[in-house]
Amino acid sequence: MKDLIRYLISLLVSNPESIEIDVQEGRRRTIYAVTVHPDDLGIVIGRSGRTINAIRTLVSAAASQDGERSWIRLVDEDDDADFDSVDEVEVLEDSADEVVDDDVEDGYGDDDYGDEDSDSEASSDEDSHTHDNA
Residue 104: predicted pLDDT: 53
Residue 85: predicted pLDDT: 45
Q: 20 and 2 in one domain? A: yes
| Contacting residues for 123 by C-beta, under 8 A, at least 6 apart | none
Q: 95 and 38 in one domain? A: no
Residue 45: predicted pLDDT: 93
Domain boundary among the residues 36, 57, 77 is at 77
Q: 93 and 52 in one domain? A: no
CA atoms of 77 and 128, how far apart (whole Å)? 55
Residue 94: predicted pLDDT: 56
CA atoms of 35 and 37, how far apart (whole Å)? 7
Residue 53: predicted pLDDT: 94
Q: 73 and 31 in one domain? A: yes
| Contacting residues for 1 by C-beta, under 8 A, at least 6 apart | 30, 32, 59, 62, 63, 68, 70
Dihedral sign for Cα atoms in the order 118, 103, 27, 35? negative
Q: 91 and 39 in one domain? A: no
Vertex 99 angle, CA 94 and 103, to 5°: 145
The total of structural domains in the chain comes to 2
Domain boundary among the residues 49, 77, 105 is at 77
Q: 60 and 91 in one domain? A: no
Q: 109 and 128 in one domain? A: yes
Spans of the chain below 50 pLDDT = 80-87, 110, 112-124, 126, 128, 134
Q: Please check whether residue 72 is in contact with residue 55, taking contact to mean a CB–CB distance below 8 angstroms.
A: yes
User: Domain of 17?
Assistant: 1-77
Q: 57 and 108 in one domain? A: no
Q: 98 and 39 in one domain? A: no
